[in-house]
Amino acid sequence: MNYGTSHSPARVQRAYLFLTAATFIGFMVGLTVLGCGGSGKADDEILIGEYSSLTGTAATFGTSTHKGAMLVVEETNAAGGVLGKKIKLLTEDTQSKPEEAATVVTKLITRDKVKAMIGEVASSRSLAAAPICQSNGVPMITPSSTNPKVTQVGDYIFRVCFLDDFQGAVIAKFVFNTLKAKRVAILKDVKNEYSVGLAQYFTQSFSKLGGEVIAVQAYSEGDNDFKAQLTALKAANPELIFVPGYYTEAALIVKQARDLNMTLPFMGGDGWDSAKLLEIGGAAMEGTYYCNHYSTEDPRDVVQNFVKKFREKYNETPDAIACLAYDAGKLLVDAIRRAGRTDGPQLRDALASMKEFNGVTGVITIDNGRNASKSAVILQIKNGKLVLTETIRPDQVAAM
């Protein structure tokens, strides 16, 4: 090949085509910008912001959220929209970082002027962005952040999932009553609000039941060698190890434990919920348990219809996060409809008064703390599949 000649006819032709295309794109971008800047275009759409971890250590959390939320957009717009307008989702990537969550949420509010916000999954990132939504009067619904502090940020912050005090009690009850384990060790992520909180709530409930947390070890999100912590926990000889963290580290932890010939049962919280858990952990995950927001085995119509629709569109089974994002989106559209407008205060009031919304992840009633009280499920990994083991309702742990 001759790289020396820069004016070969083919090159000139390519350059010409490139310039033509560039001019055309530039022209179109110009038109779009003009269109959006004027009053016309923006008025026939309702803009909703979504901030999600589309990349980074918790990437499946964000991609699942987006898939669930997009189904709501498609369904709503296919049915004519809401308040006579189409809804449009503006999605920003948090890269699985709290600082980035704050940056992109500021952008969505000040630059794009979104009317409401959906996100994040991880409690640490919701906590970083919620104060920005609160101070700007933009209602935020987190589909899946379970740490109690998130909705305490203020009266514009809502969630559609259960809370970690409940989740901690559910896991304690299951470990103590069903698995009959009395001496448990914990390996938690100290950089993660969710992990630290869930470890604490579990410990409280477990001691109340008469169990004992005999050893605790720590790691930080992004670590990939857990042999030292596991060796220390092994020496304490627990009957089970609880790992309240996210799927990437949890899978590596269980895998490395099996390499150390630790055959005891492992249990996690909802942070384990990702197809990647099995991809990373493989056969080591067999027999482990985790707490979650929904099971594909739930026979309710709303669940079965959603699972079917999701599989048809994405060719995969939805994880809990996709279901929670779908519920959050549906609830928001319903609130916009009931509010009759998209102003912050009215929309907030409509969200606050949501009662008995029949969601995929359960029936959602927003309480005075802007939270939802719902059942949790315990899943076990058997033959590489998630099997529903137990369902625990709020009233079953309230008495504990």
Instruction: Give 297: exposed, middle or buried? Use CB within 10 Å, 0-12, 13-18, 19+.
Output: middle
Our finding on whether 94 is near ligand PHE (CB under 6 A) is: no
How many residues sit in the footprint of ligand PHE (CB under 6 A)?
A: 14
Our finding on whether 196 is near ligand PHE (CB under 6 A) is: no
Q: Which of 321, 331, 376, 392 binds ligand PHE (CB under 6 A)?
A: 321
Residue 162 C-beta: closest distance to ligand PHE, Å: 9
Judged by CB under 6 A, the chain residues 55 through 74 that form the site for ligand PHE are: 61
| C-alpha span between 231 and 239 (Å, rounded) | 15
Q: Which of 162, 176, 194, 290 binds ligand PHE (CB under 6 A)?
A: 194
Our finding on whether 205 is near ligand PHE (CB under 6 A) is: no
What the block records as the tokens of 372 is 């939802």
Residue 70 C-beta: closest distance to ligand PHE, Å: 18
Of 102 and 121, CB closest to ligand PHE = 121
Of 52 and 76, CB closest to ligand PHE = 52
Judged by CB under 6 A, the chain residues 326 through 385 that form the site for ligand PHE are: none
Judged by CB under 6 A, the chain residues 3 through 62 that form the site for ligand PHE are: 61
Our finding on whether 320 is near ligand PHE (CB under 6 A) is: yes
Q: Nearest to residue 46, comparing CAs of 79, 101, 78, 90?
A: 90
Beta strands in the chain (DSSP E): 45-52, 86-93, 116-119, 140-142, 157-159, 183-189, 212-219, 240-243, 266-268, 289-292, 357-359, 362-364, 376-382, 385-392
Of 320 and 336, CB closest to ligand PHE = 320
| C-alpha span between 400 and 390 (Å, rounded) | 17
Judged by CB under 6 A, the chain residues 124 through 163 that form the site for ligand PHE are: 144-147
Q: How far is CA 218 from CA 97, 245, 253, 288, in A?
A: 20, 11, 12, 20
Of 156 and 247, CB closest to ligand PHE = 247
Q: Which residues contact 280 (CB under 8 A, 6 or more apart)?
A: 247, 248, 251, 252, 255
Q: Which of 50, 92, 270, 327 binds ligand PHE (CB under 6 A)?
A: 270
Residue 100 C-beta: closest distance to ligand PHE, Å: 16
Our finding on whether 101 is near ligand PHE (CB under 6 A) is: no
Cβ atoms within 10 Å, residue 47: 17
Taking CB under 6 A as the binding criterion, the range among 117-125, 132-140, 207-215, 235-243 that sits at the site for ligand PHE is 117-125
Residue 362 C-beta: closest distance to ligand PHE, Å: 13
Residue 345 C-beta: closest distance to ligand PHE, Å: 27
Our finding on whether 268 is near ligand PHE (CB under 6 A) is: no
Residue 150 C-beta: closest distance to ligand PHE, Å: 8
Task: Classify 128 as helix, strand or coil.
Answer: helix
Q: Which residues contact 29 (CB under 8 A, 6 or more apart)?
A: none
Of 158 and 194, CB closest to ligand PHE = 194
Task: Classify 234 as helix, strand or coil.
Answer: helix
Our finding on whether 82 is near ligand PHE (CB under 6 A) is: no
Cβ atoms within 10 Å, residue 392: 21
Q: Which of 93, 189, 273, 327 binds ligand PHE (CB under 6 A)?
A: 273
What the block records as the tokens of 340 is 């009759």
3 state SS for 247-279: HHHHHHHHHHHHHCCCCCCEEECHHHCCHHHHH
Residue 156 C-beta: closest distance to ligand PHE, Å: 19
Contact footprint for ligand PHE (CB under 6 A): 61, 121-123, 144-147, 194, 270-271, 273, 320-321
